[in-house]
Each structure stands twice: as C-alpha cells, then as structure tokens.
Structure 1
Amino acid sequence: MSEWKEVKLKTLCQGIYDGPHATPKRLDEGPIFLGISSLNRGSIDLSKSDHLSEQDFKKWTKRVTPQENDLVFSYETRLGEAALIPAGLRCCLGRRMALMRPDTSKVNPQFLLYTYLSPGFQATIQSRTVHGSTVNRIPLTELPDYPILVPSLETQSQIAATLSNLDRKIENLRKQNETLEQIAKTLFKHWFVDFEFPNADGKPYKSSGGEMVPSELGDIPAGWRVGRLGDVVKVNAESICKNYCHKEIEYVDIASVGVGVLEGTTSYSLKNAPSRARRLVKHGDVIWSGVRPNRKSYLFITHPPENLIVSTGFITLTPNFIPSSYLYSWVTTDSFVEYLTFNASGSAYPAVNAEHFEIAEVLLPDQLNLNRFHRLVNPMREKIYQNSRHIQTLTQTRDTLLPQLMSGKLRITS
C-alpha cells in the first residue's frame, strides 16, 4: 500500500468535458450519438445508441471529439455509469454525458475506468451528488477535485490486465449466448414463419411445393392449425401456498430481467419477502413482465433452484402440449411483442394481464416438426444456461477482486 497515493482526479487527466445541452435529430445511420442508454456494464452498447447527421456531428464535436481511451460517463440520472471509447468509434457526446481524457503518462485508462466503477469511487460520487428536484447530478465543476487512489503505472497496468481479462471472458460468453439465441431465432423463422422446414425428402417444404391451407394467420402447411395459447400452456400455474416448505427464497423481480437475461436474484427469508414474491416456476417455463411489454422483459427458466420465486408482475407460462423451446420462440417474436404492446392498457404503466396470453393465437405445427425443432434448439438453451452460470461465477470473482485491488489491499505478484 506504500506506493499508493491519493491525488485529485484532475492531475490524471488532460481535461474533463461535457457535451452540448441539446439533442440533435436522431437518424438510423451516421456517426454515433452517445446517450446515457449507450453505457452498459462498463462498456458502450452500440445497439442502444442513436445516430446523427454529418452536419450535426460537426456542431456536437466543436467542444470535444471523443477519441480512443477517453472515459465517458453520465453526470445526470444514471450516475456512476462509465465506459472507455473503443478504437475506431466515430461519435459525439449526448446530453447529460461527459468525458475525461486520461493523461497516459500518469494513469492507465483501463485502471481509471475500474477505479471509477469501484465501490470506493462510487461512494465518493454518491456523497457529493447534487440532489435536484427532477434529477440528481455530478457537479462537473467539482469533479476535477474528487480524490482518487493510484499506485505506480506498472501496478496500474497489472491490475487493469487482471480485471480486463475477466471482463473479456465474460464478454465472450455473452457473445456466445447472443449467437446461440440468433441461431435459434433464425431456425424458428425458417421453419415456422417461412415454412421451409425439411419435408419427407429433406427439401424445404414451401419452396418445394408443399401444400398450404388458409388460416387465421394466413396460409400455413397442411396438417397444422391455429389455436389459443391457453389451450397448450398453463398460465400462472402455481403460487406459494400455506404449506410452502422453504424458509429462504431467491426472488426475481421485474427490474432484474432484461431481454432474455436474468441479471441476478435477491435472497430473502420468506417472512420478509416482498408481497409480490408469490409465483412458482419450474424448468422450461417462460416468464413475461406484464408491465410495459415493449421493454421485452422475458426469460426462459432453466434448472431453477427449488426456492426460486418470481414476482406477480410476471405472467408465467408452463408448456403442456408444445415443447418449451417452441413456446419461448413463439412468445418472443416481434409479432407477439407487438400484440402485447397493442393490447397494453394504462397511461403511466401500460400493462397486459394473464387473459391476453391465454387468448393469444399460436401456430401449432405437427408433432413431428415440433419434436425435431426441440431436439435442435434444446441443447442451445442448455449451453446458454451453462454459459450464464459461468458468467455469474466470473462476475462474482471480478466484483470481489475489484474493491480489494483498487484499494491496494490485495496485491498482484508477477
């Protein structure tokens, strides 16, 4: 710890800059417009970033043009979020966004990012936050004087390498899962939207002249039918009852579920659990948030612990007569999301209920193709589950190491 010293943040930076206090016209292509939603778990998520015109790009970069290894952060609303600008990204700062340009002769940019994300610096941000009537903010005039602990550049690089190695493994596993999800979606579309599943001769059904018949969903292969989801799925099948045997539970609330991803669970004693902790789930179930369905908060349940409980804000779907892989694929299509969004009611918190799921139309292929699809996709779901478990372990390791390394309590030996 003797080599560590406390300095002011401004001594490590060439400058700290904020972006224009305005929003340009957003486009589908062009230079990247970095907004608060662009920041995700210490990295930049381009899928949640907008674009702007070349003309506006010139205006929005008059003050500063982000460059590789600049640390971008939000100074209003989502305080504490930050990321480094990757090489080759042509972008500008959006509203409520700022950047600090590291002086690489004094600080390793990755080390600076991990310091920013560490519990110690996050506590500094919270203690110095200005609480406004509408939003909280980091006072940019005071930020340069925030204290920060730094060791030698060599130690900084060792710490950054250790933590970034874990982050790379986590990111690689996430990308594997995204690829597997995309493969499953592509296969589902090919078979059950384009109707090009293999026929008896192994050729694409529809383009090989397979018989099509009219239905409520348009022409479908002969022998298939359209039904209601409630006919093949149990909706909200089980809830906690008086003889529930677990005194401790793992709880899933709506905020912890993203687009097919569980961010984490919260442990509670049953008697102290939230009142909404009531729904029981089992392997192969699908849960869907009834609130704001346009946000796509849904999840495939894989090998849950016996004491896993989900919020009553979720609609739980338990497959009866169709494979779980087909159910998940059907209720996560864009058309199904549009159906839920269209039927959601309420101005502040538009929501759907169990009945909307029960009466929803569902295409019911013949059992042979359902089983064939499940045999192909189910191993992908299992691999996604194993990867997710590995991600959880690596994340816990990183989060345990982070405060120890960034405070100098744990040293890295060569």
Structure 2
Amino acid sequence: MSSEWPLLTLEEAGVRLIDCDHKTPKAREEGYPYVGIPQLKDGRIVLDGARLISEEDFNQWRRKAKPIDDDVILSRRCNPGESAYVPSGLEIALGQNLVLLRSDGVWVYPPFLRWVTQGPHWWSQVGKYLNVGAVFDSLKCADITKFEVFLPPIREQKKIADILGGIDHKVLLNQQINQTLEQMAQAIFKSWFVDFEPVKAKIAARERWQAHQSAQQPASPVCYAAELEPESVDPELETRMALAAMQAISGKTEAQLARLQTEHPEHYAELRATADLFPAAMQESELGEIPEGWRVAPFSDLARLDTTSVKPAQQPEKEWEHYSIPAFDDGQTPAHEFGADIKSNKYKVHRSAVLASKLNPHFPRTWIPLVEDETAAICSTEFMPFVPLEESHRPFVAGMVTSAPFQSGIMMRVTGSTGSRQRAQPKQVAVMDVVTPPTALIAAYSKLADPLMASTARNISQSQTLAKLRDTLLPKLLSGEITVPEVDSQLDEATETAHV
C-alpha cells in the first residue's frame, strides 16, 4: 500500500523544476514547434496548431529550458496542473506559463514521473497549492517543488511505467493507424471525385494513341474513331484507356498489372470493372469541368439533414451516448452521461449518420460515429447530422463531407463575426451543389472505403477499452491498492476483449 511507501516532496525526490522564458516569440509560416498550454492534451503533446518559430528564436527559448526524453511539461496557468510527457526524440521549445519537471533518476524512475502527474494524489496537491485568481487560477514555481508524492521502490516504478506505458502506446498506435486509414480513404476520394485522375488518365491515353495512329497512318480515319464514333471505339484504344485508368486507381505500373492479371485474375477483373465506370471525356458545368455523364446536384440528393430533436432531461435516469464538440476534440470518444446531467436539447444520431460541425468551420470536424445504441445516441446541436439516403453509400457521403470542395462550401455559408462563434447555415449546406457521379461509381467507392472505415471503428472501440483499463489501473497502481502481478490477469482479459 502507498502508506508503506515514502512520501517525499518533488524537491526531496530529486525532481528539478526548470522554468521557461516569460515572453512569446514571433510566429512564422515555417519553422520549429513552440509548445503552449493548448498543446498539452491527455498527458501527451499534440503539435496540431502549435506556433512555428524561427531557428534563432527556437535556440534562444531552449537555452534556459531544453526538454529532454521523459521530462514532464506542467502548466502553471489556465489549466494549472495539466501535464504532458516529452517522448523520445521530440525537439520543441516551451511557451509561457509552462515548466519542466526532470527527475535525476535516484528516487524517481524518469518514465514513471509522467504517471505520477496523472494520478488523483497529484491533483490533490494541485488543489492544495492552487492560487485562485479573478481571471486565471495559477501555481507558483516555489510551491510546485513542495508537492508531495508517494514513491514505490524503483523496481516497482519501472514495472508500473511499463504496464501503463504499454497500454498507452497501443492507444497511440491505434490513433496513428486510424489517421493513415482516413488519409487513404480521403486520397482515393480526392483522386476519383475531385481531381478526376482516372478520367484524365483515359483522356491522356487516348491522345497518345491518336498521336501514334496519326504518325503511322496519317490519312486513316480510324485514329479519330474515339471522337467521331464513340460506339465503335477501337478495341486496342479501349484497352489502353482502361489500363491507364487502372494505373491511376491502383498506383500500379503496367507490368505490375500484367502480373496481377496472371496471379490474381479475379482482382484484376474487379479493377478493370471499376476503371470501365469512368468516362474518357470532360464536360462543362456550373462548377467547372466535370467528367462526362456526371451531374451537378444538391447534396440533399445524397443525404438528408436530420435534426430530430431529443430532450435527454426528460429521461433523467437514462444513459446517453453523447457526441459533443468537446468529446470530438478529446479523441472522438462520445461521453456517456445520464439525462439528468444534460440540460439542453440534442439531435438524434442515426446509425449511418455523418456529423459535420457547423461551429467554427475553419477548424473542420467531421465525425463518423460508431453508434452503440441508436435509441440512446445524441449529438450537440452544433453538429449537422447528415444521413445517407442509401445507407451503403455512407463511405461516399463521409468522403464528400470531408473533401476540400465541400469544406470550402461550408465556409461560404457562414454567418457571424470572425471571432470564435462563426456558424455555418445547415439548411444551406444541405442543398448546396456538389459534383455527383453515377450510382455505380458511388457504390464502387463505398465498397472500397467501407473496410477502411470498419478498421477505424474497430481501432476506436479497442482504444476505448484500453483507455478505460489504463485509467482504472492508474490510481490503483499509484496507491498500491493493486500490485503488478495482480494486473497481469486484467491485462490478459482486456487484451482478449480488445483483440490486441
């Protein structure tokens, strides 16, 4: 138990506090990351949105406080006590009102320090020394070094750090995998439906073929068959255009496609069938050039805006699956709350819905919820819930909402000042014109992207299970309520449940 462990101040435990410069360098378009309080999130450093500074300022700011592996960055203001550890190899400069905590390794195993600053006893120390201000609460540097912490033996600290660090690493790995999966789906959508690469590949292939035919038989009308008589396109030209589109779709070379045809003829046939869905010409439209046979239509032809209102407070004892803006920003994990704690009205979330934030759309938030219980799923009215008219087309609708043209369309339908409360107009967004391909292509993309979405959903579910386990074990391990050997069985059970 922790009562058997020594209780030492940070100073007594050899944890040094290193203060930062109390000024802010000039921001640059490119440069080195300067970490401020907003970059401390859930015990990690999140560089998204970090200020970039010049090399000269970077070196200047690191002269006094140069973070090294396993240091803990601690906030003294705004959200005093919030912390994040410095992972291996991360080169950053520290912003105002942040300090470094660094262990000398004698009493505190350096990787263990990050977990000390996440536990309930740590927050009791924050509360004890907190200076309540009219605008911001704060901690004094001199007081932080007086924080008292229970310290198990170093050998025990290493085991605890390994257990919690291993779980946390898997959660982080899942997040990175999901980012890759999302980028893959977005890249395919952009290639097919924004840049029209398979169509342009066919056009280029036809032009090369015609040039070759002109050089070989300048008087022959055959070389113009694709333009004069589309219904009687030369079979060789058809094959070359299909191969060009297949290369654009798959990223494979012609030699690799030939090998695919030999070794996996069924995959080759499926790829050829997809390539055949793309036309070989462009046409003018009110949104510029689009592939021939495609149309410009309102987004409502693909998905409906569902703003069915729900009043959770009327069912105070029911547990709701709440998709809120803060929950999105906090790792895209819905909050589970009782109706009694939810005061305002919400929107119903359909199982196949795609949520797009109308609040401050210059910071895009698109959420593809993994709804556990449709009767209990609700979202903030700051979201626009779009439900695909054809449920199997959800991946296409998600790709559309996430795409740059759609996000630009949202920005064009914003009201409010340039401050922090700009909002898009949902009814206008719901009917804005979008480039719409034939249903067969929508289905082909959705079939391709659906496994990526399914993998993302599994990883999110697994991460939620692991995060709950980590957060449950943390206070128990730090207090000695549970020992390291006792944790193994829980880890085995969680591993089996999460399919790690």
TM norm structure 2: 0.76
Q: 1:353 aligns with which of 415, 419, 425?
A: 425
Counterpart AA for 2:402: T
Pairing 1:216-365 to 2, within 5 Å after superposition: 216-240=286-310, 247-258=318-329, 262-269=332-339, 272=340, 274-306=342-374, 307-320=376-389, 323-347=393-417, 348-365=420-437
SS at match of 2:483: coil
Counterpart AA for 2:324: D
SS at match of 1:17: strand
Stretches of structure 2 that go unaligned for 5 or more consecutive residues are: 203-237, 249-277, 489-500
CA contact (8 A) 2:349 2:385 kept: yes
TM-aligned CA deviation for residue 268 of structure 1? 1.1
Please say which of residues 306-315 and 370-379 is displaced more in the overlay: 306-315
- Is residue 126 of structure 1 aligned with residue 127 of structure 2? yes
CA offsets, 1:172-208, max 9 Å, x none? 1111111110110111111111212477825328989
Specify whether residues 342 and 19 from structure 1 end up closer, same or farther in structure 2 by C-alpha distance, changes over 3 A only.
farther
Q: Distance in 1 between matches of 2:145 and 2:426?
A: 52
Map of 1:137 onto structure 2: 138
CA offsets, 1:226-284, max 9 Å, x none? 11112332112533389x9994432222211139x522313213xx2534343112222
Please say which of residues 310-319 and 273-282 is displaced more in the overlay: 273-282
Please say which of residues 29-38 and 99-108 is displaced more in the overlay: 29-38
TM-aligned CA deviation for residue 209 of structure 1? 8.7
Counterpart AA for 2:65: V
Please say which of residues 3-12 and 179-188 is displaced more in the overlay: 3-12
TM norm structure 1: 0.91
Q: 1:375 aligns with which of 447, 451, 454?
A: 447
Specify whether residues 123 and 215 from structure 1 end up closer, same or farther in structure 2 by C-alpha distance, changes over 3 A only.
farther
Q: Distance in 1 between matches of 2:329 and 2:400?
A: 18
Q: Distance in 1 between matches of 2:311 and 2:127?
A: 41
SS at match of 1:295: coil
Q: Distance in 2 between matches of 1:69 and 1:241?
A: 46
Q: Which aligned segments of 4 or more residues in structure 1 are displaced greater than 6 angstroms?
A: 205-209
TM-aligned CA deviation for residue 395 of structure 1? 0.5
Stretches of structure 1 that go unaligned for 5 or more consecutive residues are: none
- Is residue 147 of structure 1 aligned with residue 148 of structure 2? yes
Counterpart AA for 1:294: H
- Is residue 407 of structure 1 aligned with residue 479 of structure 2? yes
Counterpart AA for 2:350: K
CA contact (8 A) 2:322 2:337 kept: yes
Pairing 1:188-199 to 2, within 5 Å after superposition: 188-197=189-198
Specify whether residues 84 and 262 from structure 1 end up closer, same or farther in structure 2 by C-alpha distance, changes over 3 A only.
closer
Name which one, 1 or 2, has greater alpha-carbon Rg: 2
Map of 1:37 onto structure 2: 38
Q: Distance in 2 between matches of 1:249 and 1:321?
A: 26
TM-aligned CA deviation for residue 61 of structure 1? 2.3
CA contact (8 A) 2:25 2:57 kept: yes
CA contact (8 A) 1:19 1:93 kept: yes
Please say which of residues 110-119 and 197-206 is displaced more in the overlay: 197-206
What is the RMSD of the two structures over their aligned residues, measured on CA atoms? 2.6
The alignment of Structure 1 onto Structure 2 pairs a total of residues equal to: 410
SS at match of 2:93: strand
CA contact (8 A) 2:111 2:161 kept: yes
Map of 1:86 onto structure 2: 87
Q: Distance in 2 between matches of 1:402 and 1:12?
A: 20
Q: Distance in 2 between matches of 1:275 and 1:3?
A: 45
- Structure in which a larger fraction of residues adopt helix: 2
Q: Distance in 1 between matches of 2:75 and 2:91?
A: 19
Specify whether residues 92 and 273 from structure 1 end up closer, same or farther in structure 2 by C-alpha distance, changes over 3 A only.
closer
